[in-house]
Amino acid sequence: MRYRRVAIYHVPSGAFHSAGSSWLGWDNRAGRALDQPMGSVGKTIKPPKYGFHATIKAPFRLNDGCHIDTLITATQSLCASLSAVDIGTLRLKRIGGFLAIVPQSSSEEL
């Protein structure tokens, strides 16, 4: 399969994933729509295709000659070499046409 664009995302697990998925009305781990507990007040027009996630690297195109498997291997290697960082308190922020959960303050470690 040829990919036109790729991105690097983190999909949380546990209660954080469940709450975010319910809020958006889409479970990206299961690939299915969910009922939204807030009803029409919090209803999204359609479930976002990416679901609840953290963008590590926004969508980009691979250079000619680069293969998706090479990117996956390099990303896995990088992740294995990095330590976790504490990003502190999170807040909700509007970025363009969507809402994002972002760190309350900047993090040099991040």
**pLDDT tens string 46-92:** 556 778 888 899 999 999 899 999 999 999 999 999 999 888 899 98
Domain of residue 85, residue span: 6-103
Residue 26 class from Cβ within 10 Å (0-12 exposed, 13-18 middle, 19+ buried)?
A: buried
Inside any domain, residue 108 = no
Inside any domain, residue 1 = no
Q: Which residue is listed with tokens 């009803």? A: 39
Q: Nearest Cα to 110, choosing from 85, 73, 88?
A: 85
Q: Identify the pLDDT of residue 68.
A: 92
Say which DSSP state 40 is in. Answer: G
Domain count, the chain: 1
User: CA 13, CA 99: separation in Å to the nearest integer?
Assistant: 19
Inside any domain, residue 30 = yes
User: CA 108, CA 110: separation in Å to the nearest integer?
Assistant: 5
